[in-house]
Amino acid sequence: MNSYPEDEGYRAWFDQKNVLITGGLGFLGSNLAIRLVALGARVTLMDAMLEDHGGNIFNISEVKNQIKINFSDVRDEGTLKYLIKEKDFIFHFAGQNDHVLSRRNPFLDIDINIKGTATLLENCRKYNPDVRLVYSGTRGEYGAAIRLPVSEDQPLHPRGIYELSSSSAQQLFQIYNDNDSLRSITLRLTNIYGERAQMKHNRFGVANWFIRLAIDDSEISVFGDGTIIRDFLYVQDAVGAMIAAAATERAYGMVLNVGNDTASNFKELAETVTRIAGAGRWKYAPFTPERAAQEPGDFISDISRIKRIVGWSPVVSLADGMSRTIEFYREHKEHYW
């Protein structure tokens, strides 16, 4: 298990604490679980293992004997009632986050992301009102940027059903925080890449998909002229933000951007991935109609609020993060391809 010395300052918050992570066998949940186990937390994972959404038992292989797993759905009120009792922290990652699927069937987003969140919050209100909650939102809630970098005060204009459902879930957290004293934090995450993501399809996680194509020595399509910019963030930096925010009293009741104030364009991303992998190649390609409909343009997160309130900022460069990620997938390819 990798060591993260920066986490040690938060050990007092998590040592012997009971933590529930919904969507815990997925990309974000599994990486967080491993870090929390190292801090002495007693971790329970809840995951419905939705097809193609990234739930993967191998993700938690290095801590499998130190955690509990419950294979259930966040919409299952009876299971939630049982799981949330006596939990000190709940990190809510469970959701339908496939953009393509949401365009084909918007009701799944509404059912899982909104109804599921309401079910979680209502059960917490009834059965564990002292729990601390952290919700994983998305920068997609902002839609197209009015100005860069994008602060938490920018009006929300989601362009898709998934982004709309995430925004609705975030507002549910805010309502329960304000009206029922159910303490919560929303983290609006930017373009996360890194180990333990699903790598079977390209419907979410463009940076990770570039990595798969490079490892396979395939061709990467860079849409448009490659100059659209994003603030790509390494997953271990994102997990560090989750831990630090959950351990910061002042952060409760807030929405905080979790991004990278050093942005890269897609051409730079493709060049970095192929250079570090020593494989693959890239080309310019026209946008597909589906991608053009949802492309919000340039995006850079304003992370000044989380820096000020929590004291967090990313520390891993794009090149370093890509190197770690490529090494991981080359070693464990059979569990992800």
Q: Is residue 171 part of a domain?
A: yes
**Where does the pLDDT of residue 2 fall: very low under 50, low under 70, confident under 90, or very high at 90 and above?**
confident
Q: What pLDDT, in 10s, does the model give residues 164-192?
A: 999 999 999 999 999 999 999 999 999 99
**Where does the pLDDT of residue 250 fall: very low under 50, low under 70, confident under 90, or very high at 90 and above?**
very high
Mean pLDDT of the chain: 95
| Paired tokens of 38 | 């190292």
Q: Is residue 138 part of a domain?
A: yes
Q: How large a percentage of the chain has pLDDT more than 90?
A: 88
What is the pLDDT averaged over residues 242-269? 97
Nearest to 316 by CA among 196, 198, 235, 214: 235
Torsions phi, psi for 137 (to 5 deg): -95, -165
What is the pLDDT averaged over residues 246-267? 97
What is the pLDDT averaged over residues 46-61? 94
What H or E segment, with its residue span, contains residue 134? strand 132-138
Q: Is residue 320 part of a domain?
A: no
Structure confidence at residue 1 (pLDDT):
62
Q: Is residue 52 part of a domain?
A: yes
Q: How many domains does the chain have?
A: 1
115 pLDDT above the threshold of 90: yes
- Could you give the CA distance from residue 122 to residue 124 in angstroms, rounded to a whole number? 5
Structure confidence at residue 194 (pLDDT):
98
Q: Is residue 287 part of a domain?
A: no
**Where does the pLDDT of residue 6 fall: very low under 50, low under 70, confident under 90, or very high at 90 and above?**
confident
Contact between 180 and 129 under an 8 Å Cβ cutoff? The reply is yes
Which has more confidence, 270 or 292? Answer: 270
In this structure, what CATH number is given to the domain that contains residue 68?
3.40.50.720
252 pLDDT above the threshold of 90: yes
Q: Is residue 120 part of a domain?
A: yes
Q: Is residue 199 part of a domain?
A: no
Burial class (CB in 10 A: 0-12, 13-18, 19+), 249: exposed
| Paired tokens of 296 | 């919000």
Structure confidence at residue 183 (pLDDT):
98
Q: What pLDDT, in 10s, does the model give residues 136-165?
A: 999 999 999 999 999 999 999 998 899 999
Cα angle for residues 173, 24, 52 (degrees, 5° grid): 105
What H or E segment, with its residue span, contains residue 68? strand 67-70
* HSE toward the beta carbon, residue 221, CA cutoff 13 A: 8
| DSSP one-letter code for 155 | P
Is it true that the peptide bond before 149 is cis, omega within 30 degrees of 0? Answer: yes
Structure confidence at residue 63 (pLDDT):
98
Q: Is residue 269 part of a domain?
A: no
- Could you give the CA distance from residue 280 to residue 289 in angstroms, rounded to a whole number? 25
- Could you give the CA distance from residue 138 to residue 222 in angstroms, rounded to a whole number? 23
Which has more confidence, 1 or 335? Answer: 335
Q: How large a percentage of the chain has pLDDT more than 70?
A: 99
Please give the residue range of the domain that contains residue 238.
7-194+234-259+301-315
Q: What pLDDT, in 10s, does the model give residues 55-79?
A: 999 999 999 999 999 999 999 999 9
